[in-house]
Structure 1
Amino acid sequence: MLIFRYDDTFEGLLTAVFDAFSLKKWPDQVMSMKDVVPLFTREEYTVFTDDKKAKRVSIAMKKRLPTIALNQLTYVWYSELAERGQLIFRYLVKVFQTKHDISTNFADPDVLLVKQIAKKVSRERHYMMMFVRFNTIQNQGEKVYFATVDPRYNVLPFVVDFFKDRFADQKWAIFDTKRQFGYYFDLEQLEIITLDSQQDLLIDDAINEQYLSEDEKQFQKLWFRYCQALTIKERLNPKLQRQFMPKRFWKHLPETWHNKLNH
């Protein structure tokens, strides 16, 4: 069994594709450095990330694949699934070994799987645009709109431009509590942020209430009561509600905080 090991970066994966064709070696598995090598491994090849090699593969991909297929591969990478590296590697080997476009050959299991994973990641991206809720907090004397998210896939990089355009006149931040990073917009630029472990802004991945402005607390209660007033009990359909608004997002939505705001 031949194993290629890379540094778990996209550039490293593209370098692995380049090296495979250069060496004419086709690995049985492509694994990141942090993965445990299986028993009875016959040969192990370490891929050293090379930006020049990665760029050549990237350019070739853009020549051989339509934009939709390139986007699908990007989504697969950001899915963070354990098999993403192996899947993308096999897909790209087929791309460069075949003269015609393989991206619509859904009889191929790898092509079909790429499409299926990309669809799930794309759906999660849309969920983020629908279900992000900002809270007004006081940060060093100034008002900032702050939201926490914990998406199933790493989709925050795909939605920040949407919020930048939509809320161009406000200072805001979105923080991914699962991956411990976020983005802050200061009316001019977007920057990646992290939170110091000593900070108490978040408690159990939720915003510490002591940082919420009084207006924010009042608006949350008003919004909850407004949604309750609009509800027609006879037409409640919890199953349909969960279908359109998955329950895993409810902790971010004030209109669902029955125990917290119903007083």
Structure 2
Amino acid sequence: MIIFTYDKTFDGLLSCVFFAYEQKIFPDSILAEDGQKPLFVDASYHVVTEKEKAGRVWKSLEKKLSRFARNMMLSVWLSELPETEMLLFRYIRKNTDHPKGIEMNFGDDDVLRIKDIALKVGTDARKLIQFVRFQETADGIYFAPVTPSYNVLSLIVPHFKARYADQPWIIYDTRRNTGLYYDRRSVTEISFSPQTLSELRLGILDKEKVSEEEALFQQLWKEYFRSITIKERLNPKVQRAHMPRRYWKYLTELQ
């Protein structure tokens, strides 16, 4: 078995592709630097990320693959599934080695798997947009904790930059302890301390951390939600179909 280790970045994965073709060595497994290695390994290579080489691989893919296919690849990367590295490596290799490429040949198992994963990631991003609930903090920043199944924050940024362009906001992934802060001009990646993160995972900010108006609006929204509920027509199964339970934790009306 031949394994590559790398720094768990997308540029790092593209560097692995460059290294494989340069050295004529093709891996059976691609692992993070600190990943658990198999017991029996014939050869192990650590691939250093080189942006210039990664860029050359990506430019080559731009010539061979459509924008749709490249976006599918990026969605698969954001899935963070254990199979991601080798799945993308095989997909790149097949499109590189095949004269006409196989980007949409759904008779190929790897192409079909990439399409399925990309679809799930895209659905997760769309659902997240629907169920984000902002809370106005005492210092005027609109804050929303989320726990998406996949690492999709980068996919929802364009929507929120356009929809809430005139106000500062933070959308924070409490599962991955990373978030995006928009200051009315640009978006910056941020992270919180473990202590702050544990508080955020509770689902709602403490009263002293939200504005007076926010506390009132939250109460009004909960009362409105209760008032329009017709107990005799409650259908939890249908509710969960339209509003999956994994999004409930941070929905103000379900606190």
Report TM bin, short chain. over 0.9
CA-atom RMSD, angstroms?
Answer: 1.7
The aligned runs of 1:224-235 (5 Å cut-off) are 224-235=222-233
CA shift at 1:234, angstroms?
3.0
The aligned runs of 1:92-241 (5 Å cut-off) are 92-139=92-139, 143-197=140-194, 199=196, 202-206=199-203, 207-241=205-239
Taking structure 1 as the reference length, what is the TM-score of the superposition? 0.91
Structure 1 residues 48 and 201, CA gap change in structure 2 (3 angstroms): closer
Question: How many pairs are equivalent?
Answer: 254
Give the Cα–Cα distance (whole angstroms) in 2 for the partners of residues 88 and 24 of structure 1: 18
Q: Which residue of 2 aligns with 1:13?
A: 13
Taking structure 2 as the reference length, what is the TM-score of the superposition? 0.94
Give the Cα–Cα distance (whole angstroms) in 2 for the partners of residues 245 and 199 of structure 1: 28
The amino acid of 1:161's aligned partner reads: P
Counterpart secondary structure, 1:202: helix
Counterpart secondary structure, 2:150: coil
The amino acid of 1:118's aligned partner reads: A
CA shift at 1:197, angstroms?
4.1
Q: Does 1:84 align with 2:84?
A: yes
Structure 1 stretches of 4+ with a deviation exceeding 6 A read none
CA contact (8 A) 2:94 2:101 kept: no
The amino acid of 1:56's aligned partner reads: R
Counterpart secondary structure, 1:34: coil
Give the Cα–Cα distance (whole angstroms) in 2 for the partners of residues 103 and 92 of structure 1: 9
Give the Cα–Cα distance (whole angstroms) in 2 for the partners of residues 24 and 10 of structure 1: 21
Counterpart secondary structure, 2:154: helix
The percent identity for this pair of structures is: 43
CA contact (8 A) 1:4 1:44 kept: yes
CA shift at 1:235, angstroms?
2.6
CA shift at 1:109, angstroms?
1.0
Q: Which residue of 1 aligns with 2:23?
A: 23
CA contact (8 A) 2:174 2:200 kept: no
CA shift at 1:205, angstroms?
4.3
CA shift at 1:203, angstroms?
4.5
Give the Cα–Cα distance (whole angstroms) in 1 for the partners of residues 128 and 134 of structure 2: 12
The amino acid of 1:219's aligned partner reads: F
CA shift at 1:198, angstroms?
5.4
Q: Which residue of 2 aligns with 1:249?
A: 247
Counterpart secondary structure, 2:141: strand
The amino acid of 2:60's aligned partner reads: A
CA contact (8 A) 1:7 1:33 kept: yes
Structure 1 residues 48 and 203, CA gap change in structure 2 (3 angstroms): closer
Counterpart secondary structure, 2:105: coil
CA contact (8 A) 1:144 1:173 kept: yes
Gap regions ≥5 residues in structure 2: none
Give the Cα–Cα distance (whole angstroms) in 2 for the partners of residues 40 and 146 of structure 1: 48
**What CA deviation, in whole Å up to 9, does each residue of 1:33-75 have, x standing for no partner?**
1211101211112212121211111001111111111001001
